[in-house]
Chain A
Amino acid sequence: MAPSTGRVPDREVVHNRLPLLRADRGLSRTALADELGIHYQTVGYIERGEYAPSLHLALRIAAFFDVPVEAIFALEPFERLNATALMAGS
């Protein structure tokens, strides 16, 4: 985990990789929302960074995709996927 910089963000923005994971599983927003028991618009707002989910919901999303929560949510923007990262994952 990255060490804290002590910087206070202007706005509570939580970056996420939810659209990537959702597309990877071929799930629509509605399908994912139904699995999680939330409104489909809430999935959209989370993806757009306009709503930061509670810790409970973030952990449930992580459990659903079977990945660590920090693989989906982060305080800093995720690095863009590039060939090196993809090759390292294969």
Chain B
Amino acid sequence: MMATPFTLFQRLPTLSRRARRIAILAAFGGYPLMQLGYLTLREPDRIPAVVWGPIAILLFSATLVGVVAIYGYAGRRMDRRRNLDERQVAMIDRAMVLSYGVLTAVIGVVLGVLALWLTFGGPVTIGMGDVTPFIIGAALYEPVLPFAALAWIEPDAPADDEA
């Protein structure tokens, strides 16, 4: 039987840990790489738009596919906490602690870099164009962070049924 997008989405909760981690790397690597590539390659006109276009689409698609895979793996469980058993609840709690720990660390690093820049590099002017990629990144990644943490830490599931 041919797999439809819906049946593929239904299979996401059974993803192996390796596949989950690849999806997380794709999700969290794609968009920042796209922004970095734009800043270092496209904006200084090092590569033509016709070359950059497919690369940008590919990187952003990797992010979207990764986010969907992460949500498909963990989303349904995290939305139905009441129906979970103690191990599943404990895993979600661990994922929450990890994800907000990571978020705190990232915010700390960004503020630290900004503080160092202001101290040693002098005043900086931040326009809306500089901030927009970070706002999009935050809007994209912040909601999915606990799901990603759960998908990252959970070991491979035992076999469905063994006598």
Contact = CB atoms under 8 A, between A and B. Distances in A.
A69 B161 CA distance: 24
Contact of A51 (B87, B159, B160, B162): B87
Contacts of A26: 163
Interface size class of B (residues with CB under 8 A): 10 to 19
A54 B88 CA distance: 12
Interface size class of A (residues with CB under 8 A): 20 to 34
Given A56-B86, A57-B86, 8 more contacts: A28-B162, A39-B85, A42-B86, A44-B158, A44-B162, A45-B87, A48-B158, A51-B90
B85 A42 contact: yes
A46 B155 CA distance: 12
6 contacts: A29-B161, A39-B85, A40-B161, A42-B87, A45-B155, A54-B86
A22 B87 CA distance: 19
Interface string A54-80: 101100000000000000000000000
Contacts, number: 49
Q: Is the interface of B mostly helix, strand, loop or mixed?
A: loop
B157 interface: yes
Interface of B: 84-88, 90, 155, 157-163
A51 B159 CA distance: 15
A12 interface: no
